[in-house]
Amino acid sequence: MNRQCPFAIDALGGDVHAEAARVREQGPATRVLLPGGVSAWAVGRSADMRRLLVDPRVSKDAYRHWPAWISGEVGEQWPLAIWVSVQNMITAYGSEHARLRRPAAAAFTARRAAGLRPRIEEVVGELLEDLAASAPGGAVDLRTRFAHELPTRIVFELFGIPEHSWGPLHKIINAFFDTGITAEEAQRNAADLDVVMADLVAHRRRHPGDDMTSALIAARDTATDPRTAPDPRTAPDARTATDARTATAAADAGAGAEGAGAGLSEKELVDSLILLFTAGYETSVNLICTALHELLRNPAQLALVRAGLASWEDVVEEALRIEPPAFYGLLRFAVEDIDMGEGVVIGQGDPILISFGSAGRDPEVHGADAGRFDVLRATRGQHLSFGFGTHHCLGATLARLECAVAVRRFFETFPAAALAGVGELGRVESFISNGLRELPVVLGPRAPVAD
């Protein structure tokens, strides 16, 4: 067993890279304490993570493989409970994962994501016009005015989320990734999420469209016995529901064991939607901010791209490597004892914390200068920022596309843009989400508009 004493993960993510280096130095896995006093094993070496991420002895299903969750020792009062209580493909294991991933993968194909390029270009153009008109040559916060706005419009349009839900969802998503909130705040946020999600599903059942939400609803409803499928004409008004997950228990029963291989239960539908659009939004915002920031503070790297020696796609991969949009992945569980080597054994039922951010700066893979941004780095694509194996992120193609278009168009429009001020910028207070809290930039003169 690991002889090291556990150390507490900083709930606010004050210095995640120093923390990750400490995890790597202590061996293939080391004991840590998560917020709320939950003990886990942290894994920070790239090779060890790659092995675990494809190991069938590793599960993401707390309901089957985490004794502390099953017994109630850790329950809904835990501030991070929502990360393990949801039932979707990200928390599923084995054949259940394949069943839950199938309808989402069918609705969210790489081809569909690539088909969004014209809309992405259009939205980016509109946002750049707004920046040029409202702050000619002045300073703006690119996170708020640009990086936030692009995925909001693209992802929320993709899922058919009505505009009246955009504000509440942003507030909920921000709290979702805030790993320093109290248990009471987390429970209130989960309740708010239930209400907004039930409202969205009820709205799309009454008014289906060409969007991801409607596609997943159709996959759920057509695979459910018609006698138990929700009637869109009588769908409850979610704004009166106190707990959408409890309210849908009867519908879940109709999609039980007999039909589980074919479709989604109501809870699985809602939880799948939560996963897809929260991850799709947060990932893109953080990634766009990182890519812009790294090029702004490393003008020599931007010059390489402008000279044609590197591509905008190279920028995206190096940004993903050096600052993954999600730093840690919660949680995985040992289905049986796992010998990690060097005298370390992860015991059956023990939770495992994967440090995607640590993998991107592992000197064994990326060299002694792994903390330096380099668009020509040979290993820039050897990161785990979108996962690995069966849980690889479905939205990776869209996130990469959004970032490449946004960064290219920004520097084409504002070629003299520069960071406003000096010093380190504040980061979001989270050890899961990894991004800048703001990105103040002086735009400089706009490039001449071609006739």
Which CATH number goes with the domain that contains 437?
Answer: 1.10.630.10
Closest CA to 427 of 419, 438, 418: 438
Q: Give, for 59, the enclosing helix (H) or strand (E).
A: strand 58-59
CA 217 to chain centroid, in Å, comes to 22
258 within some domain: no
Note down pLDDT in tens along the chain; length 451 residues.
Answer: 445 678 999 999 999 999 999 999 999 999 999 999 999 999 999 999 999 999 999 999 999 999 999 999 999 999 999 899 988 888 999 999 888 888 888 777 778 888 899 999 999 999 999 999 987 777 899 999 999 999 999 988 999 998 888 888 888 888 888 898 888 999 999 889 888 888 899 999 999 998 889 988 988 887 654 434 444 333 333 333 333 333 333 333 333 333 333 468 888 888 888 888 888 888 999 999 999 999 999 999 999 999 999 999 999 999 999 999 999 998 999 999 999 999 999 999 999 999 999 999 999 999 999 999 999 999 999 999 999 988 888 889 999 999 999 999 999 999 999 999 878 899 999 999 999 999 999 999 999 876 5
What is residue 255's DSSP assignment?
T
Q: Give, for 32, the enclosing helix (H) or strand (E).
A: strand 30-34
Write down the pLDDT at residue 4: 60
CA 27-29-32 angle, to 5 degrees, is 115
102 within some domain: yes
- Interhelix angle 149-158/166-177, rounded to 10 degrees, is 110
Write down the pLDDT at residue 450: 66
Block residue for tokens 């202590």: 26
Block residue for tokens 């080391």: 30
- Dihedrals φ, ψ of 56, to 5°? -65, -10
99 within some domain: yes
Write down the pLDDT at residue 223: 67
β-pairing, 7-8 vs 30-34, is parallel
C-beta pairs of 365-369 under 8 Å, 24+ apart in sequence? 365/46, 365/47, 366/321
State the Cα–Cα distance between residues 354 and 352, nearest whole angstrom. 6
- Interhelix angle 266-297/183-206, rounded to 10 degrees, is 110
Write down the pLDDT at residue 139: 86
Write down the pLDDT at residue 257: 32
328 within some domain: yes
Q: Which domain holds residue 66?
A: 7-164+273-442
Domain tally, the chain: 1
Q: Give, for 329, the enclosing helix (H) or strand (E).
A: strand 328-334
Amino acid identity, residue 347?
Answer: G
Write down the pLDDT at residue 246: 31
